[in-house]
Structure formats: C-alpha cells, structure tokens
C-alpha cells in the first residue's frame, strides 16, 4: 500500500513538473526522461536506423492534372512521372539550430524516389533502369536521377521491339556542417611532491569534446559536458540533439576534480593516467603530456608545530622518568 502511494505521488510530481516547468526546468526534465528511458546516445552509431522515412513527394514533371493534360491517347505520349527526395542524412546531430555530420555527405545522404509511367501506345513495361548522380556545390547536395523505362511490344513473330522512354529527376538539400575532429590536445600534469599532502594536478582542454573520462588505477572520473538525445526530423530521420549536461560521475577515491582541474591523490605516474575525449562521432586518447614537478617550501606552521609536539612529548616522558627515580 505504501509503495503504491509513493508510486502514484511520483507520477503526479512528474506530471506537475511537465506542466508547470520553466524552460530551464523543462530542459532538465527532458534530460531526466531521456536518461531514464535510454533515449540518449554516446555515439551516432547508436542512433536507430532510418527504417521508415517520410519523403516529400514533389511530383515531377507535374502532378496528376499535368499527366492528364499531356499524356493521353490524343497526344500519344508515354510519360514518366514520379518524385525524388533527399530525406536527410544518416549519423547526424544538432547543436542549437545547426546540424552536423562527420564524413562525406554524398555517402550519408538518405535518398528516396519512386517512378511511374503512363503508356499510350500499346507498349508494355519490361523493367526500370536507374542512374543516380550526386554532387556537392556551394553548401548543397545535388541529386540527379536518370530513369529509363524499358518498353516493348511484340510483333507477329513474337519478337520484342523496344521503345524506351527516359526522364531526369532533380533534388537538392543543404549539407550539414562538418563536426570538428578531436585532436590530441596538450595535457599539463603537475606533481606536487611534498610529504604532507602530495597530489597530482591534470589540466587540459578539448573544446569539441562532449565527454571526458580520466582513469587512474581502479578509479575514474567522467565529465558529461553534453549528451545527445535521440529525436526525429519532420521526415522521420533520427538524429542526436546535443543538450547541455555539465555532470560528473566518479568511481573510486583516487580521482576527483576542483572545477575543471583533475586531481589524482598522491604522486601519480603520468603514464598510468589515461585520458579519453569523446564526441558523438569519435573517441581519442590524449597522449601529449607535459609533466612538471613542484617541491614547494613548507610554511612555518607546517614545520614548527610538528617539531614542537615531538619536543613536548619527549619533555613529558623525561619528566615522568625523573620523577620516578
């Protein structure tokens, strides 16, 4: 009964947040729901397949009225008609209002088409032959589909006489921007080598990374700058919508952070520190280490008070011995 009460209360709370939330709270709510439902991805390869796209059926060379007027028994024309559409791009993400890919847009483009023919000369359709050409210019992808309808009729001796028809379909679509490649950015490691509080500081910056992971021995620290939530375009093509996260996940006690500075407990061996930077397209391991060692002079208090404590203990011990004689 108690569990049921709390379950109902949680559902009502989520409904209340979804209705009354501000824009910032709504974003946090959406992120929470995405993470709970598993609808976020680390890499574009994890996006769902574009299995059911919804292309624009822009009829070429015209719609049904055009076909009726130009392709009939009076004109005697055999008219090819249909549509061609660049539906979108595979493995894409969105950041703000801009879409990004990484790779050749001609290989990532999702292209759908359908062709028909109206025959008015007693011919039969044997098959279709297609030639699809793609080119990129001035920030757009251009596609030409050369469609050939192989038509034939049979003479009195049963031989096929061919009379083909062809038509070129065209479409274009803006090309998404190229997402920056991750580079082996410099890593600055500073070892603070003194006896009271030894530590190792790790600092670096990879602007295009959405996730950073620092591992040392059995501990790790992951920083999620952004996550990619799975969404769909108006043509039902999945993409990752980059959403600010700013979240740290820690495992073990050896690695922590102060702001963006990574702290490893003790005097760490630099080669044992593993740093990986990830974007929705790739993961790189940073290896360009520059190591500094600092032996700061100890402050007066750090030296005097431990020494005074030792003297005090010795004095108390000697006094006790002398009193017992």
Does residue 168 carry a pLDDT above 60? yes
The Cα 295–Cα 126 span in angstroms is 85
The phi-psi region of residue 76 (left if phi > 0; otherwise alpha if psi is between -120 and 50; otherwise beta) is left
**Per-residue burial over 291-300, b = 16 or more CB atoms within 10 Å of its CB, e = otherwise:** eeeeeeeeee
* pLDDT grade for 35, boundaries at 50, 70 and 90: low
Domain 187-294: assigned CATH number = 2.60.40
Question: What confidence category does residue 325 fall into, taking pLDDT thresholds of 50, 70 and 90?
Answer: low
Q: How far apart (Å, rounded) are the C-alpha atoms in residues 275 and 284? A: 9
Residue 183: which H helix or E strand, with range?
none
pTM, rounded to two decimals: 0.76
pLDDT at 309: 65
pLDDT of residue 9: 43
Task: Write down the residue that tokens 């049904």 correspond to.
Answer: 64
- Mean pLDDT check: name the lowest of 17-26, 82-91, 106-115, 263-272: 17-26
CB 193 within 8 A of CB 293: yes
Least confident piece of the model among 90-99, 154-163, 246-255, 273-282:
154-163
Cis preceding linkage at 61, omega within 30:
yes
Q: Is 19 exposed, middle or buried (0-12, 13-18, 19+ CB in 10 A)?
A: exposed
Question: How far from 168 is each of 126, 133, 264, CA to CA, in Å?
Answer: 19, 11, 64
| Two tokens, residue 298 | 């100890």
Q: What is the pLDDT of residue 72?
A: 80
- Average pLDDT over the chain, rounded to an integer: 85
What are residue 209's DSSP bridge partners? none
Residue 112 to residue 56: CA distance in whole angstroms: 9
Greater pLDDT, 194 or 30: 194
Judging by beta carbons within 10 Å of its beta carbon (0-12, 13-18, 19+), is residue 225 exposed, middle or buried? middle
- pLDDT at residue 73 is higher than 90: no
d(CA 131, CA 146): 5
Residue 291 vs residue 38, higher pLDDT: 291
| Residue matched to tokens 């490893």 | 264
Amino acid 32: pLDDT:
52
Domain-wise residue ranges, the chain: 39-178, 187-294
18 vs 22: CA distance, rounded Å: 9
**What pLDDT is recorded for position 153?**
92
* Angle 158-147-162 from CA coordinates, rounded to 5°: 15
Residue 112: band (very low, low, confident or very high) from pLDDT cuts 50, 70, 90: very high
């Amino acid at each position: 009964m108690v569990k049921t009460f709390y379950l109902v209360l949680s559902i009502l709370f989520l409904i209340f947040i979804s209705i009354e939330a501000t824009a910032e709270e709504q974003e946090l709510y959406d992120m929470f729901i995405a993470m709970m439902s598993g609808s976020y991805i680390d890499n574009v390869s994890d996006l769902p397949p574009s299995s059911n796209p919804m292309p624009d059926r822009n009829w070429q060379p015209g719609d049904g009225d055009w076909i009726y007027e130009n392709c009939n028994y009076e004109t005697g024309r055999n008219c090819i008609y249909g549509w061609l559409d660049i539906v979108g791009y595979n493995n894409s993400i969105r950041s703000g209002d801009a879409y990004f890919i990484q790779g050749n847009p001609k290989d990532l483009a999702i292209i759908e088409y359908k062709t028909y023919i109206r025959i008015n000369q007693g011919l039969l359709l044997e098959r279709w032959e297609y030639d699809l050409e793609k080119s990129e210019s001035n920030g757009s992808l251009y596609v030409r589909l050369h469609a050939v309808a192989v038509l034939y009729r049979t003479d009195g001796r049963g031989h096929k006489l061919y009379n083909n028809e062809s038509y070129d379909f065209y479409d274009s679509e803006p090309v998404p921007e190229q997402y920056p490649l991750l580079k082996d950015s410099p890593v600055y490691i500073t070892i603070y080598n003194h006896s009271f509080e030894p530590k190792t500081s790790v600092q670096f910056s990879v602007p295009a990374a959405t996730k950073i992971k620092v591992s040392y021995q059995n501990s790790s620290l992951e920083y999620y700058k952004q996550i990619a939530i799975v969404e769909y375009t108006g043509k039902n093509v999945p993409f990752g919508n980059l959403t600010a996260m700013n979240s740290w996940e820690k495992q073990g006690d050896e690695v922590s952070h102060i702001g963006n500075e990574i702290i490893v407990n003790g005097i760490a061996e630099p080669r044992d520190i593993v740093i990986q930077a990830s974007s929705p397209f790739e993961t790189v391991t940073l290896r360009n280490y520059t190591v500094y060692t600092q032996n700061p002079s100890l402050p007066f208090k750090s030296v005097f008070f431990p020494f005074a404590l030792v003297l005090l203990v010795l004095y108390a011990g000697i006094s006790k011995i002398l009193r017992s004689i």
